[in-house]
Structure 1
C-alpha cells in the first residue's frame, strides 16, 4: 500500500515537521549513548499496523537520522520481534521532569509495599501489575488476548509522559529489572535513582505462597524469583539504593 494511503499525507508532513523542530536530534541509543545526529525521520516506536490512534500518538514517535533508521534499527528488528523489545525496554523515553524512584526486585520482594509506605497522594505510581489488573477488570467477559502487550503500551505511555509532567511531585516506577544493565538503562533513560529490594529468595517464596492474590500463579512467580536471583552478579543487601 502506498505511504499516502497508510496515513503519511500532508497532515503527517506537518506533524512530522513540528515534531522534528522540537526534537531535532536522533535519539537512537547505542552502547548507552544517543546518536545525536540531525534527525530527518519520525519513527513509530511500536509499529502502528494501521491503528490510527497509535499512528497519531506522539508519545510513540521517535526522531531518527536516516542511518539509524535504515541500518541500526532495522538490524535489531531482524533479530526478533521489534514490537516486543520496544515494549519491554522502549525507545523514545526522555528524562523525567519530576524525580523518579525506580523500585526493583524479584517477585515477592515487597516492591508495592515499599511504594505504599513511601509515596504520597501527589505522586504517580507506575506499576505494570496494577495496570494489567485494571485492564483485565475493564475487559470483563471479553478478555483481551494481548493484555500483556496492552498493559506494557500503557505503562510506556505513562513513562513517556514524565518528560512533561506538571501534575505530580514524584514518580515511583516498579519494575523487576533482574539484569543490572537493565536497571542502569532505566536509570539513564529516566534520570532517576534506583531502590533495589534484594529480598532473600526464601522470603520471596514464603510471601508468594502465603499471598491469596497470587493463587494459581505461585509456581510461575517462584520460578521468576529464582531466575531473578540467578542473574545477580553477587549477593546483594536486603535493601540497597543505587545512585
Structure 2
C-alpha cells in the first residue's frame, strides 16, 4: 500500500499520496497577490511573444527536461524573471523542464530567497597545457565549500578508468555536466569559489558569466616541460597535440591579455 500524508484540501483534512503536491491556501493567496500587484508579469506569460519563444526553446532542447532528461512540458527561466526582468527573453537564460524538476527548482529558489542565502561566489577559470599543473594549483587553493569542474577527474569518476585515460563515448556526458554547471552558476551563488579547469578558455563563458566575479589564470608552464611530464606519465602525446596547438594559436592572437600568468 503506498504511503500517505495528511493534507488540507478546501479547508478539510484528507489523506493523499505521500508524493502528491496539494495547493495550500498560501499558494492561492500568493496567486491573488500576484494578480493584483504583478499584472505586467502575468501579461508577459500570456503574450504571443512568450508563447513563440517557449516553442522555440522546446524545439532547441528537443522537448527534453534539461535536468532529468524526461519529457519536458514547460520552459523555465534559469535566473527567475522576477530577479532579472530584463533577461526574460534571453534564450541563454531559458531551459526546457518537466513539471517535477520545475517544481523542485522553484521550491529551492523560494527557500533561498526567504533565507537570504547569497554567497559572494568567485569563479576562477584555469587554463594551460596538459600537465602544466592546473589541477595541482587548484588543490593548493581550494576551500571546503568550493566546486571544481575538471574534465579528467570527472571522466575518471564516470568511467572508472585511470586518470587521463578517456572514453570517447563518455565525452558527451562530461560535456553535459559542464553545460549544466554553467546553467546553475548563472542562476545561483551556492559556493564560496568555483574552479573551471580546462586547456584553453571557452569563449561562451564571457557572455554566460558576465554578471559574475570571474578571475582568469593561465598556468604558464612552457610546452617542452609539459611534453616531458606527459612522457613520464605515459600519456599519448599525439592525442594532445591538437589542444596544445590551439592554446599556442590563442597565445599568438593575444587572447590571454586579461589572464594572470602563473609559472608552475
TM-score category (smaller protein):
0.5 to 0.7
- Aligned CA distance change for structure 1 residues 58 and 189 (closer, same or farther; 3 Å): farther
- Cα contact 1:122–1:169 (8 A) shared by 2: yes
Give matches, 1:59-208, under 5 Å.
91-92=92-93, 98-137=121-160, 146-165=169-188, 167-177=190-200, 182-183=202-203, 185-190=204-209, 191=212, 192-208=214-230
Partner of 1:168: helix, strand, or coil? coil
Cα distance, 1:230–1:115 mapped onto 2, change above 3 Å: same
RMSD between superposed Cα atoms in Å? 4.2
- Measured in 1, the distance between the counterparts of 2:75 and 2:230 equals 35
Once residues 253 and 226 of structure 2 are traced to their aligned partners in structure 1, the CA distance between those partners, rounded to angstroms, is: 18
**Residues 197 and 240 in structure 1, CA contact (< 8 A), matched pair in contact too:** no
Give yes or no for contact 1:45–1:92 (8 Å, CA) kept in 2. no
Select the structure that is richer in strand.
2
Deviations 1:40-83 (A, max 9, x none): 51315964376793354989977886xx98xxxxxxxxxxxxxx
2:123–2:196 CA contact under 8 A, matched in 1? yes
Change (3 A) 1:166 1:49: closer
The within-5 A match list for 1:208-223 is 208-212=230-234, 214=235, 217-223=236-242
Q: TM-score w.r.t. structure 1 length?
A: 0.55
SS at match of 1:231: helix
Are the equivalent residues in 2 in contact too, given 1:198–1:236 (CA < 8 A)?
Answer: no
CA distance in 2, matches of 1:115, 1:57: 40
Residue of structure 1 in register with 2:248 after alignment: 229
User: Alpha carbons of 1:47 and 1:227: their partners in 2 closer, same or farther (altered >3 Å)?
Assistant: same
Number of positions where the alignment pairs a residue of Structure 1 with one of Structure 2? 172
Moved over 4 A (4+): 49-52, 57-65, 234-237
* Structure 2 residue ranges without an equivalent (≥5): 1-40, 79-86, 95-118
Instruction: Encode CA deviations 1:137-173: one digit per residue, 9 max, x unaligned.
Output: 29xxxx9873111110012112211234454211011
Q: With a CA cutoff of 8 Å and minimum separation of 6, indicate the structure with the bigger relative contact order.
A: 1
Pair 1:189–1:147, CA change in 2 (3 A): same
2:143 match: secondary structure? coil
Encode CA deviations 1:192-240: one digit per residue, 9 max, x unaligned: 121112221111111111124x3xx222124432342133226899x95
Can you give the 5+ residue segments of structure 1 that lack an aligned partner in the other structure? 1-20, 25-37, 70-90
